[in-house]
Amino acid sequence: GESVGLHLPTLSVQEGDNSIINCAYSNSASDYFIWYKQESGKGPQFIIDIRSNMDKRQGQRVTVLLNKTVKHLSLQIAATQPGDSAVYFCAETTSGGSYIPTFGRGTSLIVHP
């Protein structure tokens, strides 16, 4: 089957900087995307989602951008804080299918104080 992947396995940033985590997907039929955050020793936690009829969605300090042309999405975290240190997963689902998300491998974000 098609898969979701990430460009960078590890991203290190300084506290206060903006972070950008990238995700490439290969299934052109995918139309709903979710970002999850997994802190050490915990389960993944929903952050934000976006449907394919949108190209941008904003939350609290986070923004997800979707570029369907190149099958790419990104998670932007503004003013990154030490508490943002975690592994971030993108997941894709396809309407008309089972709607079960397929998870990427994850990117580890390390925030240095």
> From residue 71 to residue 110, what is the string marking binding to another protein with x (rule CB under 8 A)?
------------------x---x-x--xxxx-xxxx----
Amino acid 105 reads R
Q: How far is CA 88 from CA 11, 47, 96, 97, in A?
A: 10, 9, 26, 24
> From residue 30 to residue 69, what is the string marking binding to another protein with x (rule CB under 8 A)?
--x-x------xxxxxx--x--------------------
DSSP secondary-structure letter at 84? G
Q: Which residues of the chain form contacts with another protein (CB under 8 A)?
A: 32, 34, 41-46, 49, 89, 93, 95, 98-101, 103-106
